[in-house]
Amino acid sequence: NFSLNGLTGFDLNGKTVGVIGTGKIGSVLVKILHGFGCKILAQDVIEDQNLINSYNVIYTNCETICKQSDIISLHVPLTATTKHLIDKEHIALMKPGVMLINTSRGGLVDTKAVIEGLKTKKIGYFGIDVYEEEEGLFFEDHSDDILQDDVIARLMTFNNVFITSHQAFLTETALTNIAETTIYNIDCFENGKVSGNEVS
C-alpha cells in the first residue's frame, strides 16, 4: 500500500523543540536538531555552556517548554521529582497538536493524561520507546494473547501514536558501548576509583 492518505507530516526547519534533559543523549539530539534548523529550548539541572555557545540553546523551565514547543523530547532519569513530569497540568499548557516523544523512562509521563490529550487533539503525535507498565509486556511476543493492559491497548488504537518496545538502544554499537561501560564501571569500583558514571 503506497497510499499517501494520513501521511502528511511537517518540516523540522523553523520548529521550536523542547529537550528536557541535556545529558549525553539529550545533547546529541540538540546537535541533530540544530542541523535541521530548529530553535531549541532545554531544561536540565546543569546547563551545558557548550550547547548554549555552539547551538544557541536557551535553557528555561518545563512550563515554558510546554507553552512554546512544537516538539517535546524527554531525556531525564526517573526520580521522585521527575515521576509524571508530563501530567495533565503540563499537557494543558502545550500547543495544540504538539509532538511528545519519550525514549527515556515510562514513568516520566502520566499515560492516562496523555490519552486524554490525544483524544482532545492537544497532543497531535505521541512517540514512546518506554512505557510505565512495560515489565512483562515488552520484549515478549503477545500476538496470540488477550492484552490485559487497558492503557496500552487504548494507546494502540490511535493512528498518531508510535510505540516501540524499549528497543532504541538495540544497535551493535550501543550494545558494545554498554558492555564496555559496564566493564569500566566494575573496574573503577573494584579499584576504588570514580568512573564519572555515578548517579547522585
**CB-CB contact of 17 with 38 (8 Å):** yes
Provide the annotated active-site residues.
105, 134, 166
Q: Which of 73, 13, 5 is nearest to 42 (CA)?
A: 73
Residue showing cell 523553523: 14
Q: What are phi and psi of 198, to 5 degrees?
A: -70, 145
The number of CA neighbours under 13 Å toward the Cβ of 200 is 3
Contacts of 64 (CB under 8 A, 6+ apart): 41
